[in-house]
A and B are shown apart, each in its own frame.
Chain A
Amino acid sequence: MGLASIAIDNLLSPMVLFFLLGVLAAAARSDLSIPEAIGKAMALYLMFAIGFKGGAGVSAHGVGADLVIAMAFGGLLSFAIPVLAFALLRLTTGLSRVDAAAVAAHYGSISVVTFVAATEALKTLGISYDGYMVAVVAIMETPAIVAALWLVRWGDGNGSSSRRSGKSGLDSEALREVLFNGSVVLLMGAFFIGWITGESGLEAVAPLIVDPFKGVLCLFLLDMGLVAARGFRSARDALNLRLFLFGIYMPLIGAALATVGVAFLDMSPGSAALMVVLAASASYIAVPAAMRLTLPEARPAIYLTMSLGVTFPFNLVFGIPLYITAAGWVTG
């Protein structure tokens, strides 16, 4: 299947159309909104479902060295992408060292929702992927934050800046926030429960996590469209053209790096596509909260607007078909 065909299928999928509906409703200043508690419940549901299904997949097919290799490659990407992003931001956008490091952390980390949307796109195309990719998601959440802090400290020499208090940096509370944030705990918890209980466990909870999954994802993406468009509108003054363009080309650079890597890793086309999607995606849930604890001087209006208002819509609408096609080329 060619890129154009995959792109049209993706664009006309209920997921993307509901996301675009959210964007249009926000642009038209409609009062449509999903109550925050329901939005958070849907996010938890998606973590639970994708984690459980991934674990059950591992139980059915077993794991080998491919799991360890995929996790190691994911971790490496999550360290390397922020360094590259930081250098590009400093060279091309004029952001301060702290702001550039915070933005870089978002691009090194991942978006679980983009991953979930990509798994549904693969399913629609009839391309299977390995359940262990859920574990790669969890591995790629954190290294980028450590890399970003290192980039700031490396520049400061002693890790302090004139505005910073002694409580910032990766202290125990920030480390707990990063390692045990609710998304990661539920995703990995459900993954291990799915792994332990296997196919019979999946059958038992299938009415909750298999059949309604796509519908819940559509509703969640409607909410994401509303949040992304409203966030972009209220904070667009924080972005200039160079930052906006970075939000488009950085995911493509991350995807290109991952595509080169998966060509040498003997991954299945579906898993390779998900690895490329993860490398291209940018965090907007776990990393922003961690940045408020570890790099409070960085301006949230910049990094949140870039990751949620620019990169997430780009990846969802245009990126996913491109990444699936690229992964298919190098693994096929």
Chain B
Amino acid sequence: MQTHPKKKLELIIEKPITQRLLAILNDLDVTGYTVLPAIAGRGQDGTWEEGQITDASHMVQILCVLDEAKLEEVLSATFEALKPQIGIVYVSDVQVVRKEHF
């Protein structure tokens, strides 16, 4: 089966800023994304896990697959919003089957 090269952007972010990030993706006409809960983890700012009484210490993961031509614009805008926050941003190469979706 023929596949097509795309870029996968993954953002692990603090749950309270999820809507702020999704608004940026919507404004940039990103055609699709998925938000996943993160169960537990550890980073520069210590450990975190689900089950806390406040959403402030919860993290979520946002996944989106983009055309390479769109990547720089989306990466710049999301990173600007995430700069003061706790989180991770990374990009990887992926292959997709239906290139018209991205």
Residues on A facing B (Cβ under 8 Å): 33, 36, 39, 43, 163-165, 167-168, 173, 177, 223-224, 227, 231, 234-235, 237-238, 284-286, 288-293, 296-297, 299-301, 304, 308
Contacts and interface: CB of A to CB of B under 8 A. Distances in A.
Would you call the interface of chain B mostly helix, strand, loop, or mixed?
A: mixed
Would you call the interface of chain A mostly helix, strand, loop, or mixed?
A: helix
B20 A173 contact: yes
23 contacts: A43-B53, A165-B81, A165-B83, A173-B20, A177-B16, A223-B53, A224-B53, A227-B53, A235-B46, A235-B47, A284-B53, A285-B54, A288-B56, A289-B54, A292-B14, A292-B16, A292-B56, A292-B85, A293-B17, A296-B85, A296-B86, A297-B84, A301-B46
Given A177-B16, A292-B17, A39 B57 contact: no
Nearest to A40: B53
Interface of B: 14, 16-17, 19-20, 45-47, 50-57, 80-81, 83-86
Contact of B57 (A163, A297, A300): A300
B38 to A, nearest CB: 13
Contacts of A296: 14, 17, 84-86
A300 B51 contact: no
The 9 closest A-B pairs by CB, nearest first: A288-B56, A292-B16, A296-B84, A289-B56, A289-B16, A301-B46, A288-B54, A296-B85, A36-B51
A186 B57 CA distance: 22
A284 B32 CA distance: 34
Nearest to B50: A36
A284 to B, nearest CB: 6
Nearest to B20: A173
Contacts of B50: 36
A293 B19 CA distance: 11
B54 A293 contact: no
A224 B54 CA distance: 11
Contacts of B85: 292, 296
Scoring B45, B50, B51, B56 by chain A CB atoms within 10 A of each residue's CB, the highest score goes to: B56
A183 B91 CA distance: 37
Contact of A163 (B17, B51, B83): B83
A238 B45 CA distance: 9
Nearest to A226: B51
A226 B56 CA distance: 18
Contact of B52 (A173, A177, A231): A231
B45 A168 contact: no
B83 A284 contact: no
Contacts of A286: 54
Scoring B45, B51, B54, B80 by chain A CB atoms within 10 A of each residue's CB, the highest score goes to: B54
Given A36-B51, A299-B45, 8 more contacts: A165-B80, A165-B83, A167-B81, A177-B16, A285-B54, A293-B20, A296-B86, A300-B57
